[in-house]
Amino acid sequence: MYRSRDIAVQLSERIKELSKKILAETGRDELNIMNFCGTHEWTITHYGLRSLMPPSVNLVAGPGCPVCITPGYYIDILIDASFERNTIVITYGDAFKLPGSRNKHPRSLFHAKANGGNVKVVYSFQDAVKEAVREPGKKHVFLAVGFETTMPATAIPLVSGKIPRNLYILSAYRLTPPIMRFLLEKHPEIRLDGIIAPGHVSAVIGANSWRFVAEEYGIPIVVSGFEPLDVVLSIYMILKSIEEGRPRLMNEYTRVVNPDGNTYALKAISEAYTVKDSYWRGIGSVPLSGAVHSPRYSNYDYLESMGFKETITDDKHPGCICDKVVLGLAKPTQCPLFMKACTPNNPYGPCMVSSEGTCRIWAENMPVL
Ligand code: SF4
């Protein structure tokens, strides 16, 4: 049902009519709709949804890839930790090849492991807990990368007292509404006409978390599912909202997302973590956009336990334009290294590492431009 070609084509006709009307009334020559989330970019690229849009409707990939914006400094620290005696670094697979900020070998945890570092890849935080229980004499450090979607994975075991004392967490968690606000405040040059809000994140934080976009910035925003028809319908809803002159928050993903989110998960997150200003790779320091462990759980916090200070290093590698790709200011194909020195098998920049990175998505799905 969510992949019906006929319905998609019908909707695309309506999108063409609406966009024509809006452009005639506003005098604009294009409309920019940002999909915040990497998974939406995958749907758009994989199913060739850009080819269903009129040339005037520009679908812009946004900053919704947590691996892409994880500071290189964290990776540097973990590469060093992996060579310490009795220490095991644990990561999800999508951050395994993420380069640190030092442009020399070993550049990533993948390279560290190849050079004898102690690195393990897990599918879930529960697997990390099992590893730590299995080897109680060793220190384990888990790289916690993700947006609000993945925070409950560590927050709930933390507040439930189910984490062994030899397991530390390096919190690279980042929060999505603050980066959206930052983008709207600091980068008006992108001139967004509508935003497709992340569905999975919204299942945790609630659709209402995005209301500020419509109310404070006058930009329609739709919480969207991830099937092709979800995305095409969301684009239609945005254009309809513009045409009616009523920019508002809409929820297309009501089968999963409610207005207030998952209260159980949110309670655990607010107990386990404290919000603070944090650095986003390639973007800069974003107010109240990161999470460190609250004082009660700070003995699980790897950076705090080891006395590391949050440090901003130059983690942009020469030639890589990932910082612009993440902000929607450039397309992967504008990077001279795309599919030359930077490929999914051998990623040079952070946007080519994770399956949610725009460069990786474009590399693997042959975008229809
Ligand atoms: Fe960076 Fe690679 Fe993307 Fe170029 S193709 S912007 S080097 S991640």
ipTM score of complex: 0.99
Show the ligand 1 pocket: residues with CB < 6 angstroms. 320-322, 325, 332, 335, 337-338, 342, 348-349, 351-352, 359
C-alpha span between 167 and 279 (Å, rounded): 24
- The pLDDT score that the predictor gives to residue 368 is 45
Atom of ligand 1 nearest to the CA of 363: 5
Residue nearest to atom 5 of ligand 1 (CA): 338
Minimal-distance CA residue to ligand 1 atom 8: 349
Does residue 268 have a pLDDT over 90?
yes
The average pLDDT across 84-105 equals 95
* Band of pLDDT at residue 216, cut at 50, 70 and 90: very high
Query: What is the Å distance from ligand 1's center to 338 Cα?
Result: 6
Q: Is the pLDDT assigned to residue 210 strictly greater than 80?
A: yes
Say if residue 367's pLDDT is above 60.
no
Which pLDDT score is estimated for 310?
85
H helices present in the chain, as ranges: 5-26, 38-46, 72-82, 109-114, 125-134, 151-159, 176-186, 199-205, 211-217, 228-243, 263-272, 302-306, 322-326, 358-365
42 Cα–ligand 1 center, Å: 17
Tell me the average pLDDT across 138-165: 98
104 band by pLDDT with thresholds 50, 70 and 90: confident
- The rounded mean pLDDT for the chain is 96
For ligand 1, atom 7, which residue shows the shortest CA distance? 320
What does R_g of the chain's alpha carbons equal in angstroms? Answer: 21
| Domain 1-319, second-level architecture | 3-Layer(aba) Sandwich (3.40)
Confidence of residue 103 (pLDDT cuts 50, 70, 90): confident
CA 21 from chain centre, in angstroms, equals 33
29-62 pLDDT tens trace: 999 999 999 999 999 999 999 999 999 999 999 9
Distance 13 CA to ligand 1 centre (A): 34
Ligand 1 centre distance from Cα of residue 342 (Å): 6
Look at strands 284-293 and 273-280 and give their pairing.
antiparallel
Indicate if the pLDDT at residue 3 is higher than 90: no
What is the percent of the chain where pLDDT is above 70? 99
In the chain, domain spans: 1-319, 322-364
Lowest mean pLDDT among 13-27, 46-60, 81-95, 306-320: 306-320
**How far, in Å, is the centroid of ligand 1 from the Cα of 331?**
10
